[in-house]
């Protein structure tokens, strides 16, 4: 167990994205497996009437909506379903990007006709040698589109930005260009026949406690018929992924039935919620999403509900923090979120040097989602044994833990590309 006096050091080592203060109400954090107490998880197949789901029809019509509503009420907030009158404008197209490997499009999505400041700037790369419309990986980035590749044609975001490389006083500078390129191996993705789309999450809502005041939750509250406090930053980031999907489905170079949503860390949480909320995503990838993402909340290890809702209260619905000291009362856990992805392919990944995200808790969450996948006749992890380092396991649910720290690495991407290759259709030249 880690004393409170060392907690801030632990967080700094385990979570490199963003500064995290000491948690006043959390007396200790557990990073020792032997100290994990017993806990009981809800059965994802147990219906409100006490009966067990036995058919896909029961799951789709009764249990899945029931579980989804529990997550809305207790974790992420209500997900707006009101359609928006979205328009878009291509601001730049480069048909010879990456030494003629790709076409690069910069597209502004206007999320509202009434408030044109509600925007999303999508950066899209598509392989030039593709014979048809291609599958696309979609994910948000942490520091602005200019950070994923060193390209002077990409504008530097002017929005509030969390601390990171090339960020000064919470704003990106020229030094941020390409600073996160190691997490976005665009050439490798393109060479394998896939496209890549990304946008900066901070332009949807600034990642700070009062970010909602100037973000989409306030700008579109009347249009979406939802008040800011009814959902969360995590909810609006997930909602924005769905709006990016709206655009991608009509782009002539994108296969509309093969858009893969992925995310790392807090953006992995948002990717999971987007995948659960919008079944148009053909595949979902969670890279070290941890507490509030793929890791079990009732398992006392690493980051906890109490810690995360104190440091980042804006990420979740107000109800979530009420379980900070009583996760036993929480009516859901994250294996049920993963189950909402079924029967679509799901990849969950962890890192040995990121114990704060609870790798074993992420694995167990994937394991306990398996009964729902079996309902659809899909094989999950195929084992209940925690795998060795860099030994991926699973079919429609797949998991790996790799060496290294909290990051997205070439090893991670290689696994995701191989997984996509098993479940997507590519049209090679």
Please give the positions annotated as active site: 265, 406
Phi and psi, residue 360, nearest 5°? -65, -35
Contact 352, 363 (CB under 8 A): no
Phi and psi, residue 412, nearest 5°? -60, -50
Burial 58-79 (b: 16+ CB within 10 A, else e): bbeebbbeebbebbbebbbbbb
Q: Which of 239, 235, 287, 243 is nearest to 265 (CA)?
A: 287
Burial (CB count <10 Å: 0-12, 13-18, 19+), residue 377: exposed
Q: Which of 249, 256, 254 is nearest to 133 (CA)?
A: 254
Report the SS3 class of residue 104: strand
Q: Report the alpha-carbon distance of residue 310 to residue 281 in Å, rounded.
A: 31
Contact 255, 136 (CB under 8 A): yes
Helices (H), 92-198: 97-100, 186-191
Q: Report the alpha-carbon distance of residue 220 to residue 125 in Å, rounded.
A: 29
């Amino acid at each position: 167990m880690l004393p409170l006096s060392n907690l801030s050091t632990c967080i700094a080592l385990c979570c490199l994205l963003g500064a995290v203060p000491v948690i006043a109400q959390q007396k200790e954090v557990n990073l020792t497996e032997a100290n994990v107490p017993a806990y009981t998880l809800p059965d994802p197949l147990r219906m409100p009437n006490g009966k067990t789901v036995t058919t896909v029809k029961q799951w789709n019509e009764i249990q899945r909506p029931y579980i989804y509503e529990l997550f809305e009420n207790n974790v992420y907030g209500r997900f707006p379903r009101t359609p928006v009158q979205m328009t878009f404008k291509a601001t730049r197209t480069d048909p010879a990007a990456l030494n003629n490997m790709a076409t690069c499009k910069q597209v502004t999505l206007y999320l509202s006709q009434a408030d044109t400041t509600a925007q999303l700037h999508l950066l899209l790369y598509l392989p030039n040698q593709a014979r048809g419309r291609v599958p696309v990986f979609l994910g948000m980035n942490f520091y602005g589109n200019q950070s994923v590749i060193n390209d002077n044609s990409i504008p530097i975001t002017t929005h509030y930005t969390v601390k990171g490389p090339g960020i000064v006083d919470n704003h990106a500078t020229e030094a941020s260009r390409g600073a996160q390129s190691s997490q976005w191996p665009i050439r490798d993705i393109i060479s394998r026949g896939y496209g890549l789309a990304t946008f900066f999450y901070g332009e949807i809502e600034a990642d700070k406690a009062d970010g909602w005041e100037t973000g989409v939750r306030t700008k579109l509250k009347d249009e979406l018929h939802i008040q800011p406090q009814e959902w969360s930053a995590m909810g609006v980031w997930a909602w924005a992924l769905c709006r990016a999907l709206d655009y991608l489905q009509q782009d002539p170079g994108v296969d509309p039935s093969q858009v893969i949503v992925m995310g790392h860390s807090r953006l992995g949480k948002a990717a999971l919620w987007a995948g659960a909320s919008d079944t148009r995503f053909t595949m979902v990838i969670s890279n070290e999403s941890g507490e509030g993402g793929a890791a079990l909340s009732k398992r006392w290890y690493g980051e906890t509900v109490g810690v995360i809702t104190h440091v980042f209260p804006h990420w979740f619905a107000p109800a979530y923090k009420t379980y900070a000291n009583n996760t036993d009362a929480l009516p859901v856990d994250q294996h049920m979120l993963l189950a909402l992805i079924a029967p679509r392919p799901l990849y969950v990944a962890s890192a040995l040097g990121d114990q704060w995200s609870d790798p074993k808790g992420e694995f167990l969450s994937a394991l306990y989602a398996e009964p729902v996948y079996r309902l659809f006749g899909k094989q999950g992890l195929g084992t209940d044994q925690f795998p060795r380092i860099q030994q991926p396991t699973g079919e429609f649910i797949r998991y790996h833990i790799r060496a290294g720290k909290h990051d997205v690495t070439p090893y991670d991407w290689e696994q995701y590309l191989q997984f996509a290759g098993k479940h997507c259709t590519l049209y090679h030249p």
